[in-house]
């Protein structure tokens, strides 16, 4: 693997679409989102069923049980993620409980008091605006440094061919 290091404390994660066998490498933004980065790093590996965004556009994500001792504050927030951004969102089960989101009452996250959304944005022109609730700021905790082109192509395929049976994984690189 290529050395992507830019400093002595840099940490990297591999984000993979497991069934498709595609991955990219991201550097944690520990200088901008230290609490979020520590929470994610300590919980790795993480993963689950992948979803492609309905509203935000060029985003894939997994919905996970809460894993941090306390949910991170809104550090390094954005509502306009750029290609390669890894974002962290926290939702309540009620926020994701309506059928308009496409999950249904049999979704794996149903009934969880807190749902964590780990997301990868793979292309431009994203806007985190939800028609039901308004702005949905996310915490930018990582940036892809290798393989975004491969991942973007696989994400477009996921959008066209469907996400059923695919998982996304986050692992230490």
26-56, pLDDT tens digit by residue?
999 999 999 999 999 999 999 999 999 988 8
- Cite the beta strand spans of the chain per DSSP E: 12-17, 22-28, 46-49, 51-52, 59-65, 77-78, 85-92, 114-121, 129-130, 134-135, 138-146, 167-172
Backbone angles phi, psi at 6, to 5 degrees: -120, 0
| Predicted pLDDT of residue 86 | 98
Contacts of residue 106, Cβ cutoff 8 Å, sequence gap at least 6: none
The answer to whether 45 touches 168, Cβ cutoff 8 Å, is: no
How many other CB atoms are there within 10 angstroms of residue 150's CB atom? 14
Q: Is the pTM of this model over 0.85?
A: yes
Spatial CA neighbour of 37 closest among 3, 82, 87: 87
Which of 85, 117, 122 is closest to 101 using CA atoms? 117
- How confident is the model at residue 156, as a pLDDT? 96
DSSP state at residue 99: G
Q: Which residues of 27-38 are buried (b: 16+ CB within 10 A; e: fewer)?
A: bbbbeebebbbb
The confidence score (pLDDT) of residue 1 equals 43
What digits encode the pLDDT tens for the residues 94-118? 777 666 666 666 666 777 789 999 9
The residue that leads in pLDDT, 7 or 38, is: 38
- Provide the mean pLDDT of the chain: 90
Task: Name which of 61, 58, 142 is nearest 96 in CA terms.
Answer: 61
How far is it, in rounded angstroms, from Cα 144 to Cα 122?
Answer: 9
Rounded Cα gap, residues 14 and 103, in angstroms: 26
Q: What is the pLDDT of residue 78?
A: 98
């Amino acid at each position: 693997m290529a050395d992507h290091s830019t400093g002595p404390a840099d940490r990297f994660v591999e984000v993979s679409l497991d069934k498709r066998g595609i991955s990219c490498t991201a550097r944690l933004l520990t200088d901008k989102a230290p609490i979020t980065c520590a929470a994610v790093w300590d919980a790795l590996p993480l993963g689950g069923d992948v979803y492609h965004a309905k509203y935000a556009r060029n985003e894939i994500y997994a919905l996970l049980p809460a894993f941090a001792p306390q949910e991170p504050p809104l550090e390094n927030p954005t509502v306009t993620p750029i290609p390669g951004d890894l974002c962290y969102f926290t939702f309540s089960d009620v926020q994701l409980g309506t059928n308009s989101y496409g999950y249904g009452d049999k979704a794996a996250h149903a009934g969880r008091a807190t749902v964590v959304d780990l997301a990868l944005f793979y292309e431009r022109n994203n806007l985190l605006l939800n028609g039901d609730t308004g702005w949905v700021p996310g915490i930018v905790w990582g940036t892809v440094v290798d393989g975004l082109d491969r991942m973007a192509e696989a994400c477009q395929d996921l959008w066209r061919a469907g996400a059923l049976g695919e998982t996304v994984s986050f692992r230490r690189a």
